[in-house]
Amino acid sequence: MSEHFHAVVWIDHREARVFHFNAEDVAKLVIHPDNKHVHLHHKANAIGAGHAAEDHKFLAAVAEAIGAAHEVLVTGPGGAKTELVKYISKHEPRRLDTIKGVESSDHPTDGQIVAHARKYFGAIDLTTPQKA
């Protein structure tokens, strides 16, 4: 993976798409959990919350895919994005400072993800120097 200053992660429980980018270039990685077909539903008067347990192997692979990016935006629907940030906080705390934002998003196209991240970091870059 070529080194870019910025990265954006779009994640749900079925996949993570990691984009390393600059103004002209984008590199994409797609990570899938080992068991991507887990569907749990909560039933009234049933024991348990109906949530799948965190997949630490999947989250570790996503954290590794972030690589050496200096500023990262994490997006996605549901709770997978916060699970990723929690995982990084606990298992790779040195990377936590690189996460500059966590936002909810539905299911955008790859182009929409990168365009949003470029706009997001463009606003930050106007006030923050980029230091490698």
User: Order of strands, edge to edge, in the sheet holding 16-21?
Assistant: 26-31, 16-21, 6-11, 71-76, 99-104
Ordered DSSP codes for 64-88: HHHTT-SEEEEEESTTHHHHHHHHH
Q: What is the model's pTM? A: 0.81
The answer to the question of residue 45 being in a domain is yes
Q: Is residue 131 part of a domain?
A: no
In a domain, 55, yes or no: yes
Q: Residue 132: inside a domain, yes or no?
A: no
| Model pLDDT for residues 24-80, shown as the tens digit of each residue | 899 999 999 987 554 444 445 455 444 455 689 999 999 999 998 999 999 999 899
Q: Is residue 1 part of a domain?
A: no
In a domain, 19, yes or no: yes
Query: Given the DSSP bridges, would you call strands 71-76 and 6-11 parallel, antiparallel or unpaired?
Result: parallel
- 120 within a domain of the structure (yes/no): yes
pLDDT digits (tens, 9 = 90+) for 80-102: 999 999 999 999 999 999 999 99
Q: How many domains, in total, are found in the chain? A: 1
| CATH number (domain holding residue 115) | 3.30.420.60
Domain residue limits at 41: 6-125
What is the rounded CA–CA span in Å between residue 28 and residue 17? 7
How many Cβ atoms from other residues are within 10 Å of residue 19's Cβ? Answer: 22
- Residue 130 in domain: no
Contact 83, 89 (CB under 8 A): no
